[in-house]
């Protein structure tokens, strides 16, 4: 039987191993493992779910048809050994050649692309702690999507191991560095067009 996650009042007083953290998780719980402590995450808003759900299905359709790897959606833990963290990105992508990192219940090491959908509660964390951790751990590409502000920041890891900000082109299309050939119209993130229509425009059907 899985152990129960520590309650909020216990955080800071009781530490558990990463393996205990994984054993305690279930599919309905969103939590992260930070230096041995469990931090539960706030429930997602309807807007968060709309944008995240659309992007996940779009990326998954593209990646699967092209045979590029795997796309996963939260809750799924990405273990970051240098930072001693177990994060749950909103969306992550692992290239075909890195699938050995993918375990049954977690990813051992960095994803090739991480997407975080920011909210009022998470903005500072997404742009601060997570930015630093993902850069240190070698996450090749990091997107921070803020649906409320209709803002998206794309960061790509340079040869020096530091993030550089990339932008969409003059037509408002962003060319991903991690997902080969993916040209994403940024306005889709706010409009969330019908999935079939978006897939057709990407030339998948």
- What is the DSSP track for 40-65? EPPPPPHHHHHHHHHHHHHHHHHHHH
Q: Domains (ranges, CATH) in the chain?
A: 1-40 (no CATH), 44-201 (3.90.1570.10)
As a whole number, the mean pLDDT across the chain is 89
pLDDT grade, residue 36 (50/70/90)? confident
pLDDT at residue 48 is higher than 90: no
98-102 average pLDDT score? 97
pLDDT grade, residue 120 (50/70/90)? confident
pLDDT grade, residue 31 (50/70/90)? confident
Report whether 46 contacts 24 (CB < 8 A).
no
pLDDT grade, residue 1 (50/70/90)? very low
Query: Could you tell me what percent of the chain has a pLDDT over 90?
Result: 71
Q: In what order do the strands lie in the sheet with 106-108?
A: 37-40, 31-34, 85-87, 77-80, 106-108
pLDDT grade, residue 7 (50/70/90)? very low
71-93 average pLDDT score? 94
Report whether 132 contacts 72 (CB < 8 A).
no
pLDDT, position 8: 40
What confidence tens digit (pLDDT) does each residue in 148-183 have?
A: 999 999 999 999 999 999 999 999 999 999 999 999
61-84 average pLDDT score? 95
Spell out a b/e string for 133-158, using b for 16 or more CB atoms within 10 Å of the CB, else e.
bbbebebbbbbbbbbeeeebbbbbbe
């Amino acid at each position: 039987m899985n152990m129960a996650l520590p309650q909020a009042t216990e955080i800071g007083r009781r530490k558990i191993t990463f393996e205990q953290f994984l054993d305690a998780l279930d599919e309905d719980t969103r939590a992260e493992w930070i230096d041995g402590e469990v931090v539960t995450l706030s429930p997602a808003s309807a807007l968060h779910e709309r944008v995240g759900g659309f992007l996940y299905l779009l990326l998954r359709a593209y990646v699967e048809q092209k045979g590029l790897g795997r796309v996963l959606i939260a809750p799924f833990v990405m273990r970051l050994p240098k930072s001693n963290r177990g994060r749950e990105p909103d969306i992550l992508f692992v290239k075909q050649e890195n699938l050995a990192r993918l375990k049954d219940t977690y990813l051992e090491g960095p994803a090739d692309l991480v997407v975080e959908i920011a909210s009022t509660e998470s903005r500072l964390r997404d742009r601060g702690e997570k930015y630093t951790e993902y850069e240190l751990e070698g996450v090749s590409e990091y997107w921070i999507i803020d649906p409320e502000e209709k803002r998206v920041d794309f960061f790509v890891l340079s040869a020096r191991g530091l993030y550089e900000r990339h932008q969409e082109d003059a037509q408002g299309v962003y060319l991903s560095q991690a997902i080969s050939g993916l040209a994403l119209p940024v306005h889709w993130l706010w409009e969330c067009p019908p999935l079939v229509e978006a897939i057709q425009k990407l030339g998948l059907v």
